[in-house]
Structure 1
């Protein structure tokens, strides 16, 4: 049992610590974007189930691969908060509340939105590429998928989960998310599953870019920190003193 506890602490401890501090300090005010997203998703669900509200929600937030690219890009921001009609809305709300909430606590609201929209946009663009490839290749899609309404937070949730796992060294969790999505594609091979994989690829690219940027910063920070040291504390002066003492 203690081995499992140690593994859990090593896997989720940094993530738990990063989320606990702002939540402890500000409570529900620490995640205003998440709360707004939950309210917006609830509102769109209520509106689109009204006789007068379905078409406006479709016009503003329903994305299909058959739509012109410009129209799809304009609808993509709202599409993230439009629950799929064939799925229970509580699932979308729970995903947003938990995953968006943890991401906002750990990353801040604007980084959370950037990653969420990057993942969603990757799925939206992949659908067009997959349909162009056709149904016979492993990455292709049937032409009928061009008519599928592509909305909901699932791609963003998957992307955020992978990014959080990488950022806070919960590598097993991030790997488990990737494996589950791959298994889903292997079993079903539907549009949603392949879009999730496209979202993961986009987020892994963001992780690689962030890691490269971090590596570039380290030498610059080392040089800047060395430059502010007084001459008596610089590494060069210490080596010089050591050499003079050895000569004596």
Structure 2
């Protein structure tokens, strides 16, 4: 019991420093400019949400950033970067703004700007492409396949990027609490409400875990081993 408690305390202490203390130090050192991606992401979502409030604007938003499974692959790939800023039209956008800002702000402080964009895009693209495979498989396949009608549903927008970023950070910073609150909650949501968005979130979580483990292994492989001469 004492060893278990000690391990839990060390883990939580490390998570506190990795998720809270170190990013705040980075923010103090670099200033508000370190949160550029977070402000751009939130501004983009608010911008597209405002446009989509009008019928003509909603059509324009769908043409520019709406990704569906029945689109030609080249067109889906062309729209995917913009879809990171297009909120789901049937969900309250303001409820997700805080999560969006925290995900991009924390990722930019912890990972840097380039890796944040790479992980966010990879998580979104993984969901988009895998859903196309599921639709091509058709119904059945032990519940993995999807009916053709699923190809007419819009993708999750920025939410897949958000859950992907939180999951990736929790893996590379060894933050089990953050992982349970983000990736674990997505698993429970998908079980409670099985739908296309839930599948895309699960795929984003899985892609982020793989990317995080690869990054961790790469970092460990690059460290010099003790007892070996240079």
Tell me the TM-score range normalised by the shorter chain: 0.7 to 0.9
SS in structure 1 of the partner of residue 223 of structure 2: helix
SS in structure 1 of the partner of residue 194 of structure 2: coil
SS in structure 1 of the partner of residue 30 of structure 2: helix
**1:14, 1:97 → 2: CA distance?**
18
The reply on whether 1:118 has 2:125 as its aligned counterpart is no
Change in Cα spacing, 1:178 to 1:51, as seen in structure 2 (3 Å) is closer
Cα RMSD after superposing both structures:
2.4
Change in Cα spacing, 1:222 to 1:87, as seen in structure 2 (3 Å) is farther
Aligned counterpart for 1:88 among listed residues 89, 92, 111 = 92
Aligned counterpart for 2:25 among listed residues 18, 21, 28 = 21
8 Å CA contact 2:104, 2:162 repeated in 1: yes
Change in Cα spacing, 1:221 to 1:39, as seen in structure 2 (3 Å) is farther
Change in Cα spacing, 1:212 to 1:168, as seen in structure 2 (3 Å) is closer
SS in structure 1 of the partner of residue 31 of structure 2: helix
Q: Displacement of 1:185 after TM fit?
A: 1.8
Any stretches of 5+ residues in structure 2 without a counterpart? 1-5
8 Å CA contact 1:63, 1:76 repeated in 2: yes
Matches within 5 A, 1:130-145: 130-136=134-140, 137-145=142-150
SS in structure 2 of the partner of residue 31 of structure 1: helix
8 Å CA contact 2:64, 2:82 repeated in 1: yes
Q: Displacement of 1:183 after TM fit?
A: 1.8
Taking structure 1 as the reference length, the TM-score comes to 0.82
Taking structure 2 as the reference length, the TM-score comes to 0.88
SS in structure 1 of the partner of residue 91 of structure 2: coil
Q: Displacement of 1:115 after TM fit?
A: 0.4
**2:13, 2:224 → 1: CA distance?**
31
Alignment size in residue pairs:
224
Any stretches of 5+ residues in structure 1 without a counterpart? 228-248
Matches within 5 A, 1:37-186: 37-136=41-140, 137-186=142-191
8 Å CA contact 2:52, 2:59 repeated in 1: yes
Q: Displacement of 1:27 after TM fit?
A: 3.3
**2:223, 2:149 → 1: CA distance?**
50
8 Å CA contact 1:22, 1:105 repeated in 2: yes
8 Å CA contact 1:45, 1:89 repeated in 2: yes
